[in-house]
Amino acid sequence: MFEPAYRMSESEAIYETLRKEIILLKIPPQTKLSEVKLAKRFGVSRAPIRVALRKLSDNALVEIKPQSGSFVTAISTEKSANIKVVRYLLEPYAAKLAAPMMTDSDLKYLAMHVGRLDEPIGDRDQKSFLIDEVDEVLHDMILARCGNPELTAVIRGFRPVVSRLSLANLSRDNERAISVVHEMRQLFAALVSRDGEKAFHAMQQHVGSIKIAK
């Protein structure tokens, strides 16, 4: 029987497991996900499997085709490159707006998470997820403080693709992981100084250094 993590429902725990496997390419793009096989694997009925697959579909990781089944979505190089261009234009501006608005409690919260980057984790996949998680916290705080809900909505809409691309790169490229951590620290330092221009340039460097796999 599949035992979900603390406070997670069966479907949530299954979703998290499949999400990680898809993002890290342990389940290749265009793989068909059989409800029957997944139910057998996790030792559950098909109901929580369906819920997990729907959530994966909502996050653009799975495509549910009527009469055909559920398939892991392909990674579009063109779409990833287009999203990078839009992020490069929008996210530095969001950081510039947000930096002067940071409160002491905001910065304390960010410091706690950025400090987690020093945790000794030997497993590359786990380290990749930690980096991505802390990066998401930084970006979420910037969006929360930029004061522009339309800008926030556009950037948030890219998150499923961005997270998948980021984790795929981090898990395969140790040098990229080291660079990302440095970029995040620079961005955090700019937020601590509440300097909009520094935050703009730090975010520009962070987004601009993203690698789009060919």
- Highest-confidence segment of 18-27, 47-56, 121-130: 47-56
- Is residue 160 over pLDDT 50? yes
pLDDT at 143 over 50: yes
State pLDDT tens for residues 15-30: 999 988 888 778 988 9
Burial profile 113-139: b = 16 or more Cβ within 10 angstroms, e = fewer: bbeebeeeeeeebebbbbbbebbebbb
Listed ranges 65-69, 122-126, 157-161; the one with the highest mean pLDDT: 65-69
Distance CA 77, CA 67 (A): 28
- pLDDT above 90 for 129: no
CATH architecture of 10-72: Orthogonal Bundle (1.10)
- Residue 67, CA distances (Å) to 27, 31, 53, 194 in order: 22, 16, 15, 54
More confidently predicted of 159 and 94: 94
Q: In this predicted structure, what is the pLDDT of residue 6?
A: 47
Q: Give the separation between CA 163 and CA 5, rounded to whole angstroms.
A: 22
pLDDT category at 1 given cuts 50, 70, 90 is very low
Q: Into which CATH architecture does domain 77-208 fall?
A: Up-down Bundle (1.20)
Contact 34, 72 (CB under 8 A): no
Mean pLDDT score, 137-148:
97
Distance (Å, whole) CA 130 – CA 133:
5
The domain ranges of the chain are 10-72, 77-208
Same CATH topology for 10-72 and 77-208: the answer is no
pLDDT above 80: residue 7: no
pLDDT of res. 5: 44
